[in-house]
Amino acid sequence: MAPRLLFYVQHLLGVGHFRRAMALVRACEEAGIEVTVASGGRPVEGIAPAGRLVQLPPAESADSRFSTIIDERGQPIDDAWRASRREALLGLFDACRPDLLLIEQFPFGRRAFRFELLPLLEAAQARHPRPVTVCSLRDVLVMKSDPRRQEEMIVLARTYFDRVLVHGDPAVIPLEASFPAASALADRLAYTGFVVDSAAQSTIAGTDTPMSDEILVSAGGGAVGRPLIEAALAARPLTRWRDKPWRIVTGPGMAERDLDALRLSLPAGVQLDRVRADLPALFARCHLSISQAGYNTVMELLSVRARALVVPFAEASETEQTLRARRLAAMKLIHLVEGEALAPASFAAAIDRAAAASRPVMTLRFDGGAQSARMLRALAGPHAPGLATDGKASGGRRV
């Protein structure tokens, strides 16, 4: 009988969390795991769903500072909304009776959703037999300066979670680089390697279009991508590539007013798409990719050895993309632009340098989805490693 997995994922601003979740779901299904996904963000255009996708009442961030969580009507969530969504999530857990409970990011993020996640974790602890509970974590966290927050994360992880799967490589970026207290979870941490969607790899492998001289500017999910796109368009006339074809892919989350503004000001020789299902194949064929430095975009670029110039999203307290980009730039795998270098002349010079460079030599592995699925499949067995004799997560205290 196939093990049953319930996978909770909540995207708030971009779509990277959902995209990586779908990659993991596809890998789990290929490994013979039956997956139900509890998705708490808005439905996403342009990403093929996987597993049995159950849409919870959707929530998202009102802005790039994550100052307010809003519901599907654009209103701040209230206690009635929280109670309704908590009931929906717990009802789904009861209906699924999973062997594995996989929660994306929490307790290392998604603190605003403690109202439903802590009851879910308590329900999992009380269930007999208890599902193995696992955290799915990207390679880099947003840095938390308050030691009390780090301690809280450690306590929650040790109390409720049997494993923390880090979708990265410690030789490239160890978790300690963004979470200094990671050693307190050494007995639970497992690195899976980098996750690249098998569907994306199939798209790349299925194309027979030769390499192009196109400059590709993409903005991930698109919610915060307009400044990057406008900076690239301002730099374009100053580059040696101004007469070559340029393509803009805004992403599905770009606001309609921003999309309309770009369309009205689009210069000749530049094509604009909102969504491209074959974006990984475009990465593989383009002469140069210009993008932000989100996990999924960077891993897809590296997996096809694309020339890549990245501009990390670094508003407010966001540190994740900058740390990743600096580490990979130091390894000569990508080119990096930050801060004042986005002025047109400086950005144009960076574009020219990146476009003239050789494609990177790649030694990284991108089978993190399959490795995650193998780990989860093993944990679902009758003798899950690392579990206490009573079947509960060992160590920690209640909070």
* Predicted local confidence at residue 315, as pLDDT: 77
- For the entire predicted model, the pTM comes to 0.90
* Predicted local confidence at residue 388, as pLDDT: 39
Q: Nearest-5° angle of CA 244, CA 299, CA 144?
A: 120
* Exposed/middle/buried for residue 265 (C-beta within 10 Å: 0-12, 13-18, 19+): exposed
Q: Mean pLDDT per segment of 10 residues, for the chain of length 399 residues?
A: 95 88 96 97 83 95 84 95 98 97 96 97 97 97 84 97 98 95 96 86 59 93 89 97 96 90 93 92 96 95 96 84 96 92 94 97 94 97 47 36
Burial of 302-324, coded b for 16+ CB within 10 Å and e otherwise, reads bbbebbbbbbbbbeeebbbbbbb
* Predicted local confidence at residue 204, as pLDDT: 61
Contacts of 57 (CB under 8 A, 6+ apart): 40, 71, 72, 81, 84, 85, 88
- 308: part of which helix (H) or strand (E)? strand 308-310
* Predicted local confidence at residue 62, as pLDDT: 84
* Predicted local confidence at residue 142, as pLDDT: 85
* Predicted local confidence at residue 147, as pLDDT: 83
* Predicted local confidence at residue 209, as pLDDT: 58
* Predicted local confidence at residue 210, as pLDDT: 67
* Predicted local confidence at residue 270, as pLDDT: 97
* Predicted local confidence at residue 398, as pLDDT: 30
* Predicted local confidence at residue 201, as pLDDT: 64
3-state secondary structure of 10: coil
* Cα→Cα distances 207→143, 197, 274, Å: 39, 16, 21
* Predicted local confidence at residue 211, as pLDDT: 81
